[in-house]
Each structure stands twice: as C-alpha cells, then as structure tokens.
Amino acid sequence: MSTTMKKEIFEEPSAMERCLKSNEATLNKLAETLQAANICNVVVAARGTSDHAGIYGKYIIESMLGIPVGLAACSTTTLYGSKLNFNNMLVIGISQSGAAADVLELVKNAKETGAITLTITNNLESPLAKAADFHLYCDAGLEESVAATKTFGTQMYLIAQFVARWAGKTDLIKKLEAVPKTMAQILLQDATIAQIATRYRFMEEAFILSRGINYPLALEATLKIQETNYVRAKAYPISDFHHGPFAMISEGMPVFMYMSDGPVKEDSKAMIEKLQNAGADLIMISDDDELLAQGDLGFKIPSADKEDMIASFYFAVFAQLFAANLAEVKGRNPDAPRGLKKVTITK
C-alpha cells in the first residue's frame, strides 16, 4: 500500500468481523439490560470522527426505538462545573484512544446519577474502557495514521449491532453480518476511485451533502478531505442547504452527494435540480441508478436494500479511499497531516 492510511482502510472489513466476535456476549447482555430498563433519553459524548459515529447512533436510535438522543456539551461539566442528572438515561462515551478527558468526566457524572453507561474504544486499558457499565471494544488493531478509518468503521458497526439488538431487529442483524464482505467489494474498486480523485487534484473547496441517517457520513467525508488534503470543505444536510448556504454555489463548484435508494431519495431530487441549474460539478455516490444518472460523475456503491444505515458503511469506505487517493495525487502525506497528532485530549 502507498500509505498507512490506505493500508488501514483495507483492514476495515476484517476488523469489523473481528470486533463482532469479540463483543458478541457484551452486545447481547447490553441489549437485555436496555430492554429491561425504562430508558427515557440517550446522551452521546464524543469528539471528531467519534462524534460522527455518535451522530449516526442518534439517527438510528431515534428511528428504530423512538427514544430522543442528545449530543453532550461536555464543557458544561468540565469547565462550568455543572452536575447533570442522567437518571433513567443511557449515556454513551465514544473515543478511539479512550483518553478523552472531557468524555470521561461526563461518563463518570452519568454513572453517579443513575444512568446506564456505555463506552466504545479501541483500547481495553484506557480510562474510558474501565469507567462504564458496558464497554464495546473496536478490536481494530493499532491505527497509526492520524486519519481514523478502521476505528470509525468498527465504532459504527458496534453501534449498529447494539441498536439492532436493543430494537429486536433480527432481520437487520443478519443484514449487518453481511456488511464487511460487501464493503470489501468497494476496496476492489480502489483504482476507479483513484481516477475520480485525479479529476479533483486541483480542488481547494467543496460541499458534501446528504440527509437523515447518512448525514453523519457527509460530516465524516468532509473531515477526511479536510485533514488529509487541506481542502476547505463543508458538510450540510440538504434540508439546510436549501437556505442561506446555497448562495455559495458557483459555476463548477464540486458538490458531493451521498444519497442511497431509501427514504431520502425523493427529497434529494429538488436539490439535485437546483445544483444542476446553478452549474455545480455534481458527484453522486449512490446505489441508485436514477440518482447516479443525475451527476456529472458517479460512483455506485453496493445495494443497501433501501436501508440507509447499511449504506452508511459503503459511503464511509468510499470517502476514506477518495481522501487517501486525493492526497496521493496532490502530493500530501495523509498519515501525518500538518498541525495534527493521533491523540487529542480535550478537557
């Protein structure tokens, strides 16, 4: 592999299969505990890529279980000294390293005030791994590249697995089991993705759009090209982009749309037409031929069978490979981006 980042992307399917085996008993026990509890709210605490995995969790928990999910403002605890009441809630702390100090403080606060606590990390010996009632281990192996790839995939996979079990969706659990092998089909198209990246070698700004369950994947796709290529990119849900942000679209502006053949499909068509009329350079990533045909360029992911939460995994690996390949053609090192380090501790 040309870079460590790309090598770690190629390890993602096997890491996902491994993390499922490692956590099977915990996943089932967690689901049993949550089904027996009267959970009224869920709160997710995370930063960066882990935050995007948490937002993915927000969408699928609210969609499948009808329980409101909030994103924690950890500074209210760590900087303002507030003692929050998390009684009858599930509080989830997510951190690849498990060293996120502010997330740790919030999880401790939650446990002290009556919450069920869950942490997801790639480090069994980390403070977060030991702080909660339940811990899900990414088991992704050492991740050396600054840009998180296989740890993001395993975080999302563990979240999807525990939510499917909590909701009692046995059909969805089976679909999720097939994801790693299907995802590997995209890795075989790395050369095609590299050609797409070559077309955008001079790109300095872009917009990345999606909606619903796949909106967090637009956020993550944006972060990947920001941190590895220094491209001024911005993610929006298409529902927000119809408003003020659309004024930034000019002739030839690259716009990446992550849209699968699911509940958001029809809603995306008005935005596609609007972007075409404005002269945007539209790159469509989808499993739907009708949507793909609307783009100036398209990449077809495997069918997600109208399940947006499944499509998210395929979008993730495309976004990671695109960023890694774009860095290569731009002559940048995605393994060590300027001004960044692998572990960032926020208090």
- Which residues participate in catalysis according to the annotation? 341
| Cβ contacts of 144 within 8 Å, gap of 6 or more | 4, 8, 335, 342
Structure token pair of residue 207:
């917009």
Which of 138, 139, 162 is closest to 33 using CA atoms? 162
3-class SS at 231? coil
| Cβ contacts of 20 within 8 Å, gap of 6 or more | 157, 161, 177
Distance CA 247, CA 253 (A): 12
3-class SS at 130? helix
Distance CA 282, CA 72 (A): 34
Alpha carbons within 13 A on the beta-carbon side of 198: 6
Which of 246, 240, 245, 253 is closest to 283 using CA atoms? 253
Distance CA 193, CA 183 (A): 14
Distance CA 98, CA 28 (A): 22
Q: Is residue 133 within a helix (H) or strand (E), and if so which, with residue range?
A: none
In angstroms, the first-to-last Cα distance of the chain is 36
Distance CA 237, CA 218 (A): 8
Distance CA 284, CA 254 (A): 11
Which of 202, 218, 176 is closest to 307 using CA atoms? 176
Residue with tokens 């700004």: 205
Distance CA 79, CA 335 (A): 32
